[in-house]
Amino acid sequence: MSVWLKRCGILLAISAALAAVDSVARPTAWTVTSVAGRNDAPPDQATGSPAVAANSPGPSVQPTTPAHTAQWFSDQLSAGAIAIDARPEEKFRESHIPGAIHLPFEAFTKGRPDAIDFLPDDGTTLIIYCDGGDCDASHKVQTMLAQFGLKDTIVFEDGFPGWQKAGLPIETGAAGAQ
């Protein structure tokens, strides 16, 4: 039995060693705080805002405030901001915010999504939305965009349901899909 457990221990130790070496060797280091972005992330002790490491490549966290209403979103779009739809393709095709670029989280599993080429890195605000509520796709896309240097991003927490509820116009079809 002791040999049996020893072998399991060796397998786990090999895995742990490889994980440790890998985490140091990866070209892009990230920490737990760079994964943060949701408002439920542990708050920073001093500021009370979601914690982001000083050297983190994570997003410039701009948590949605009550001022970030659907009308605010609409005004931002009129002022030049770009909407990013992080929902699955079938939902995007069904309906989306006019002019939105489709960029679901799954697109990042194949490397650098082509849609990133359509996103300016000149300070233009990128507003990401999904289904509102507990939908976390927009936060995940926000974190991934930061990995590619696009940090001027805001998550619209109310998501597409909030936009629809406000009676704002919608668009159908695949236009703008990545």
Partner 1 sequence: MTIPAPSKTIVDLLLLLARIISGGALLLAGAVKLGLLGGVAQLPTAPLLFALSLQSFKLVPHSLVPVVSYFVPWCEVVAGGMLVLGVWSRQSAAIVTAMLLAFTLALASVLLRDMNVDCGCFGGLFGEAKVTWGSIARNFVLSAFGAVVLVRGGGAIALKPDAIRP
Chain residues that interact with partner 1, rule: CB under 8 A:
1, 3-4, 7-8, 11-12, 14-16, 18-20, 22-23, 26-28, 30-32, 34-36, 41-42, 88, 104-106, 108-112, 131, 133-137, 140, 143-144, 147
Give all strands of the β-sheet with 101-102 in edge-to-edge order.
101-102, 82-85, 126-129, 153-155
Query: Measured from the CB atom, is 51 or 70 closer to partner 1?
Result: 51
DSSP 110: G
* Least Å from the CB of residue 13 to partner 1: 10
Nearer Cβ to partner 1 (29/166): 29
Tokens linked to 62: 């701009």
Nearer to partner 1, 35 or 170 (CB): 35
CB of 170 to partner 1, least distance (A): 20
How many C-beta atoms surround the C-beta of residue 30 within 10 A? 17
Left if phi > 0, otherwise alpha if psi is -120 to 50, otherwise beta: which for 89?
alpha
Least distance in angstroms from the C-beta of 176 to partner 1: 19
Complex with partner 1: residue 77 or 84, whichever CB lies closer: 84
CA distances from 90 to 83, 96, 113, 164 (A): 17, 11, 18, 17
- Give 131 or 158: the residue with its C-beta nearer to partner 1: 131
CA distance 96 to 98: 6
Closest approach, Cβ 161 to partner 1, in A, equals: 11
Closest separation between CB of residue 78 and partner 1, Å? 29
Runs of H (alpha helix) within 42-81: 70-78
